[in-house]
Amino acid sequence: ADARAETMKTEPAFLPNGTRVDIMINVASPDDLKGISPEICDGIGLVRSEFLFEPGRPLPDEEAQYAAYVAIAAWADGRPVTIRTLDAGGDKPIPGVTSDGESNPFLGLRGLRLSLARPETFRVQLRALARASLHHEIRIMLPMVTVPGELAEASALLDEVVATLIAEGTPCRRPPLGIMVEVPAAALGALRFPADFYSIGSNDLTQYTMAAARDIADVAGLNDAGDPAVLELMARTVGAGKARKVPVSICGDAAGELRLVPKLIGVGLTCLSVPPALVGAVKAAIADLKHV
């Protein structure tokens, strides 16, 4: 099976009915790309930008971020690169950035909530992203979006940042702005978010739907992305994407769980973003599908 996955790695994936399934990769740091050919994927579906905000280090400045984003996009060689803005908090505390002492950090100031509460920090990231987008297919993705007003606020900030860059004479472009769908409220209300794309974060969507934390082993049995309730929220998100004619993908760990691949295809997903090491196995699992 390993040999088959290895040979399939660089081939495009198709469903039995001929539909192309885009397989993208998730990267947590530029190191993840070392020794990997971009030919194994149709793009990068998730860059977890937290790697830039390392504990004990000063916050990365605009130039450091710009260089990191350009380096990742250059690797992708023209393929789309989805860079998620800082997703600190919850299971990703960053000393000096996230707030201490929350009784339940998963329900606290995390993800986009935190970025909107720290506009000086958020602006630096948006500036670096708008500049890096000039020569690369970069898309900005917002984590932990819960209500449309948050997307509106981030979108307005991006407009402001781009206008400032243009006024300064700094070359830039306003990249597409999409949202992670990882809070049940966002999945249920996906149609009401004027996002340029949706990407399902099954890790958080599952824990919030099943009320079972992703990091508590005792409730791991309940933390199942294949539960019908979670699949229903995914199906709704796919439906919203179709209705609004914008792309929908999934970048949570469920996309790389081979037993779940048929279910994800079943809810209508045609873009899966997985860790680079799982690309071949996921393509093989898609090739094995008998129906669809």
Question: Out of 182, 187, 223, 278, which residue is the one contacting Mg ion (CB under 5 A)?
Answer: 182
251 catalytically annotated: yes
Interface residues for Mg ion in 193-232 (CB under 5 A)?
Answer: 201, 204
Binding mask 57-96 for ligand PEP (x = CB under 6 A): ------------------------------x---------
CA distance 15 to 196: 25
Closest C-alpha to 252, from 282, 273, 281, 222: 273
Least separation in angstroms between residue 234's CB and ligand PEP is: 11
Least separation in angstroms between residue 143's CB and Mg ion is: 6
DSSP state of 89: B
Q: By CB under 6 A, is residue 251 in contact with ligand PEP?
A: yes
CA distance 131 to 134: 6
Token look-up 């998620």 returns 84
* 228-244 helix and 202-210 helix, angle to the nearest 10 degrees: 130
Interface residues for ligand PEP in 34-53 (CB under 6 A)?
Answer: 46, 48
Least separation in angstroms between residue 15's CB and ligand PEP is: 23
Pick one of Mg ion, ligand PEP, none as the site partner of residue 273 (Cβ within 5 to 8 A by kind): none
Other Cβ atoms less than 10 A from the Cβ of 39: the count is 11
- Decide whether 126 or 145 has the Cβ nearer to ligand PEP: 145
Write down the catalytic residue from 41, 172, 251, 271.
251
CA distance 210 to 22: 28
According to DSSP, the β-strands at 271-274 and 81-84 are unpaired
- Decide whether 43 or 201 has the Cβ nearer to Mg ion: 201
* Cα distance from N-terminal residue to C-terminal residue, the chain: 23
Q: By CB under 5 A, is residue 32 in contact with Mg ion?
A: no
Task: Write the CB contacts of 249 (distance below 8 Å, at least 6 apart in sequence).
Answer: 22, 24, 45, 197, 198, 199, 200, 269, 271, 272, 273
- Decide whether 162 or 234 has the Cβ nearer to ligand PEP: 234
Task: Write the CB contacts of 163 (distance below 8 Å, at least 6 apart in sequence).
Answer: none
CA distance 241 to 225: 20
Question: Out of 32, 42, 150, 182, which residue is the one contacting ligand PEP (CB under 6 A)?
Answer: 182
- Decide whether 133 or 202 has the Cβ nearer to ligand PEP: 202
The residue ranges that bind Mg ion (CB under 5 A) are: 182, 201, 204
Annotated binding site for phosphoenolpyruvate: 48, 84, 203-204, 214
Enumerate the active-site residues: 251
Annotated binding site: 48, 84, 182, 203-204, 214
The residue ranges that bind ligand PEP (CB under 6 A) are: 46, 48, 87, 182, 201-204, 251-252
